[in-house]
Structure 1
Amino acid sequence: MPRRTATMLASTLMLIALLCAGVLIRVPYAEMSPGPTVNTLGEHDGEPVLQISGRKTYAASGHLNMTTVRVTSADYQMNLVEAVYGWLAHDSKIVPHDTLYPDGKTEEQSTQENAEEFSQSQESAKVAALKELGIPVKSWVIVSTVVKDSPAEGKLHAGDVIKDVDGTTVKQPADVAKLVTKHKPGEQVVFTVIPAKEQAAAEKAGRTATKTEKVTITTATSHDSGEKRAIVGISAGTDHTFPFSIDIKLADVGGPSAGLMFSLGIYDKLTPGDLTGGKFVAGTGTIDDDGKVGPIGGVDMKTIGARNQGAQYFLTPADNCAEAAKDTPSGLRLVKVDTIDDALKALKEIRSGDTADLPKCTTKG
């Protein structure tokens, strides 16, 4: 066999061997890629994303698209070839597996957590939009979750309304932890609560719940990496009563990052005219009850997904600006926002066509 032919054959066999090895070698990485975008002003799977009843609404054109990121599942074992391909590709991102699934989190746990965050983001989006419109919203502190095998298990329940702790009125979720940690582990703390069932029955009947119960819990010692402190094993959150019905119909989406776009969609539906002036605006960002916009993950994948769908402008959380600006898709303009008020001001400029002074994202923020 001629030397040249032998060399080519050996090289080919070596390449095949390397490819086979690459397919067999598993690496601790996961992939992120652009996910679907959904117009909050439009329909999804045949029904309106935002459904409002009991209040006058207005037709809205244009796009206010929320954006998503696709990720590989927690139990997916990526091989070396897939990782290398992902590193070279422009429209995907390879990250350490633990970035998406820390502490060995399972697919089921991640899905549950994302669903809870998505539900909370919807509530905050409603509150932020109505506050911006000057529409009153009733709020109270509740038990969001109860940790399994904790002192609170069986004594407090998700949805219980926390009125006070040791006789001190609770006004916001952070008050609960502050009052509990005044104790030493092993001491008793007394919660005054309206049971979740009583609260639900009162809301259904259109009355104010008044039946309270006192619940005494013996505190335990925290086991996280922070300073040792007294805990009871709950997380506190906020629940609301709205003056009319606002439903967000969007399945198979999780996480808190659609909060900003939901709030803008609600605002647009409740006000005459179009926020976008018919323009295609997409965006992302968490939002709290006071309209503060927070950062999210995978912003570079979301900008690609938005531009692929035709977005012209992308509302970007201030804390994500530097990352997003490093590789902005051609034809997409990043708009820096820190609050819902910032977003509304930016939309006013966009629909007027006077966009010279729109807040810009740079690689410095």
Structure 2
Amino acid sequence: MPRRTATLLTSTLLLIGLLCAGVLIHVPYAEMSPGPTVNTLGEHDGEPVLNIKGEETYETSGHLNMTTVRVTGVSYRMNLLEAVYGWLSDDSAVVPYESLYPDDVSADQVEEQNAEEFTASQESAKVAALEELGYEVGSQTIVAAVVVDGPAEGRLHAGDAIVAVDGTEVTEPGQVADLVTEREPGEDVVFTVVPAEEAQAALEAGEELPGGTEDVTVTTEPAPDDQRAIVGIQAGVSHSFPFEIEIELADVGGPSAGLMFALGLIDRLTEDDLTDGAFVAGTGTIDAEGTVGPIGGVSQKTIAARDAGADFFLTPEENCAVAALDVPEGLTLLSVGTLDDALDALAGIREGDTSDLPRCEAR
């Protein structure tokens, strides 16, 4: 066999071997890439994203798009060839697998957590938007969940309104854990509660909690990680709204659409058109007070926004430094830290004067 032919054959076999190895060798990484965007002012799968009943709504123009990131599934293991392709791609990010799916969390738990965060983001968006518009929103601190086989199982129930702990009035969920951990493991804690059914009825009627409270004594136990006193509940907040709001968006998880939901609700509930026809996208968590928080995958979300046609992207200020490292051509990144910041940004866009709005800058 001629030397040139032998060399070519050897090189070809080596290349085939490397390609086979690249396909067969799995690596501990996952891939993030731009996901779909959805206009919160429009429809998704034939249904309005924001379905408001019992209150007057107004026509809107333009876009207020929420953005998403597509990630490889929890059961999928990338091979070496896919990882190299992802590293070389401008649109994707290859990240350690455990950063998305920790070893101590099952696939079902990941899905459940994403669904819970998405539901909580909707609730916070409703509260922030309605209070921004001057509506009254009722709230109660409640037992959000009871740990199976925990000390409180059978004594406290999901939906019970927590009025006081050991005689100290409770006005927000964070107080509950603080008051419980003042005890030593093995000591009793007295919860003053209104049973779930009565509490919910009062909330829906816009009334104060009824006076028929119950005192429930729960014996604490040590937490497995740091031995602090716990009773095995998760405290949360339940809200009542002056009219019905449903957010119809399936197959989306996590908390990062909160800001855009809040803006969409404000636009639908006010006569002024917030965008005046502009295409604005964005991301960010939001709490009931209107504070905008950081999210993951911001670079992939800016790419998704620009691919969808957005000209402006509302960016959580804590994500700005990373987002500004590689800005898609034609997209302006505006920094927002609160719902009011986002409304100011929309006012500037609407009026055609964005020169004084804070932009994202790389550091």
TM-score of the superposition, structure 1-length normalised?
0.96
- Which runs of 5 or more structure 2 residues have no equivalent in the other structure? none
Distance 2:137 2:202 in 1: 17
Q: Is 1:39 the equivalent of 2:39?
A: yes
Q: Deviations over 1:175-195 (max 9, x none)?
A: 101110110011010111222
Q: Name 2:239's counterpart in structure 1.
A: 240
Within 1, Cα distance between the matches of 2:353 and 2:132? Answer: 23
Displacement, 1:234?
Answer: 1.7
Separation (CA, whole Å) in 2 of partners of 1:358 and 1:125: 23
Deviation of 1:213 after TM superposition, in Å, equals 2.4
Cα deviations by residue, 1:79-134 (Å, 9 ceiling, x for unpaired): 11111111111111111111111233222111111111111111110110111111
**Cα distance in 1 between the residues matched to 2:282 and 2:206:** 37
Counterpart Cα distance in 2 of 1:200 and 1:132: 24
Whether the 8 Å contact between 2:284 and 2:315 is mirrored in structure 1 is: yes
Q: Does 2:277 align with 1:291? A: no
Residue 204 of structure 1: how far off its partner (Å): 5.7
Tell me the residue number matched to 1:196: 196
CA distance in 2 between partners of 1:120 and 1:347 (Å): 25
- Confirm or deny that 1:177 pairs with 2:166: no
Distance 1:155 1:7 in 2: 78
Equivalent pair of 1:74/1:105 in contact (CA under 8 Å): no
Q: Contact conserved, 1:98 with 1:104, CA < 8 A, in 2?
A: no
> In structure 1, how many angstroms separate the alpha carbons of the residues matched to 2:20 and 2:191?
61
Amino acid at match of 2:278: K
Give the number of equivalent residue pairs. 362
- Quick check: 1:142 aligned with 2:136? no
Counting aligned pairs with the same residue, the percent is: 66
The residue matched to 2:152 in structure 1 has which SS? coil
Equivalent residue number for residue 254 of structure 1: 253
Per mean C-alpha deviation after superposition, the further-off stretch among 285-294 and 75-84 is 75-84
Give the secondary-structure state (helix, strand or coil) at the position aligned to 2:64. Answer: strand
Alignment match, 2:213: 212
1:111 and 2:111 matched? yes
Q: Is the CA contact 2:69–2:301 (under 8 Å) kept in the aligned structure 1?
A: yes
- Aligned-pair distance for 1:209? 4.8
Match for residue 223 of structure 1? 224
- Number of the residue aligned with 1:4: 4
Instruction: Report Cα offsets for 1:267-315 as digits up to 9, x if no partner.
Output: 1111112111100000000000100000001111111111110010000
Q: Which amino acid aligns with 2:295?
A: I
Does the CA contact (< 8 Å) of 2:206 and 2:240 recur in 1? no
Q: How many angstroms does 1:202 deviate by?
A: 4.4
Change (3 A) 1:189 1:35: same
Q: Which whole-Å CA distance do the structure 1 matches of 2:253 and 2:43 have between them?
A: 18
Distance in 1 (CA, whole Å) between partners of 2:344 and 2:173 is 30
Q: CA RMSD in A?
A: 1.4
Deviation at 1:149, TM superposition (A): 2.6
Q: Which residue of 2 aligns with 1:345?
A: 344
Moved more, 78-87 or 99-108: 99-108
Q: Counterparts of 2:2 and 2:104 in 1: how far apart (Å)?
A: 54
Residue in 2 that maps onto 1:164? 164
Aligned amino acid, residue 165 of structure 2: V
Equivalent pair of 2:256/2:284 in contact (CA under 8 Å): yes
Secondary structure in 2 matching 1:119: helix
Question: For residue 254 of structure 1, what is the amino acid of its counterpart?
Answer: G
Distance 1:264 1:126 in 2: 10
Aligned to 2:335: 336
Give the aligned partner of residue 353 of structure 2.
354
SS of 2:103's partner is helix
- The one-letter amino acid of 1:244's match is F
Residue 268 of structure 2: aligned partner: 269
Query: Which is further off, 212-221 or 245-254?
Result: 212-221
Deviation at 1:203, TM superposition (A): 4.9
Residues 41-83 of structure 1 deviation map (CA, whole Å, 9 limit, x = unaligned): 0011111111112211111110000011111111111111111
- Following the alignment from structure 1 to structure 2, what is the Cα–Cα distance between the partners of residues 207 and 317? 36
8 Å Cα contact 1:75-1:106 kept in structure 2 = no
Tell me the distance in 1 between the aligned counterparts of 2:97 and 2:315. Answer: 26
Displacement of 1:205: 6.4
Deviating beyond 4 angstroms after TM superposition, the runs of 4 or more aligned structure 1 residues are 201-209
Instruction: Indicate if the aligned counterparts of 1:336 and 1:359 stay in contact, CA closer than 8 A.
Output: yes
Q: Aligned equivalents of 1:185 and 1:141: distance in 2? A: 24
- Distance (whole Å) between structure 1 residues aligned to residue 146 and residue 5 of structure 2: 70
Name the structure 1 match of 2:151.
151
Conserved in 1, the CA contact under 8 Å of 2:138 and 2:206?
A: no
Question: Quick check: 1:318–1:338 contact (8 Å CA) kept in 2?
Answer: yes
The 8 Å contact of residues 287 and 294 in structure 1, kept in 2 or not, is answered as: yes
Take 1:238 and 1:273, find their aligned partners in 2: how far apart are those partners?
31
Question: Are the aligned partners of 2:204 and 2:240 in contact in 1 as well (CA < 8 Å)?
Answer: no
Alignment partners' CA distance in 2, 1:155 and 1:103: 33
Kept after mapping to 2: 8 A contact 1:38/1:44: yes
What is the distance in 2 between the residues matched to 1:42 and 1:97?
Answer: 35
* Aligned counterparts of 1:22 and 1:181: Cα–Cα separation in 2: 52
* Alpha-carbon distance between aligned partners in 1 of 2:58 and 2:307, rounded to the nearest angstrom: 28
Question: CA offset at residue 212 of structure 1?
Answer: 2.7
